[in-house]
Amino acid sequence: MTTYSKDILALHQLEKAISLFFDEEDYICAITLAGAAEDICRGILERESKETSVDKLKAWLEEKHPEAPELKRFYVHANEIRNSLKHFTDATESSVEIDKEEAVYWLNRAVMNYD
């Protein structure tokens, strides 16, 4: 059995997500892997009391758009596509719409948290 540090796991997932995005245009797997990397990196940042990519995005939205949604609604919306790819929580949901921009969004979140 091999032991990996969390930051190495996140980097491996992020590199694979980037590769799938560019080499295969596989946006589904790119989002899933980037989302996993983003989550690990977010946990590391929170443990170190540092700002995450979503914290930065929310602060920017609040500054530019004071009518920005409340925190819980914001986080639900920000994670909606990733969660739809990972979970079956909505029995009425039979499909998920995914595009290149959504994959870019998740890659960006992961890179911002890794950096």
| Residue boundaries of the structural domains of the chain | 7-114
Contacts of 42 (CB under 8 A, 6+ apart): 52, 53, 54, 113
Check: CB of residue 105 under 8 Å from CB of residue 57. no
Q: What is the pLDDT confidence band of residue 107, given thresholds at 50, 70 and 90?
A: very high
| pLDDT at residue 13 is higher than 90 | yes
Residues 28-57: pLDDT tens digits? Answer: 999 999 999 999 999 999 999 999 998 898
pTM for the model: 0.86
CA-to-CA dists, residue 83 to 24, 42, 67, angstroms: 22, 16, 25
pLDDT given for residue 61 in this prediction: 80
The token duo for 45 is 């940042």
| pLDDT at residue 68 is higher than 70 | no
Q: What is the pLDDT confidence band of residue 71, given thresholds at 50, 70 and 90?
A: low
| pLDDT at residue 113 is higher than 70 | yes
Residues 49-67: pLDDT tens digits? Answer: 999 998 898 888 888 877 7
CA-to-CA dists, residue 14 to 2, 7, 20, 69, 85, angstroms: 19, 10, 10, 29, 17
pLDDT given for residue 75 in this prediction: 73
Q: How far is CA 61 from the centre of its chain?
A: 17
d(CA 61, CA 53): 12
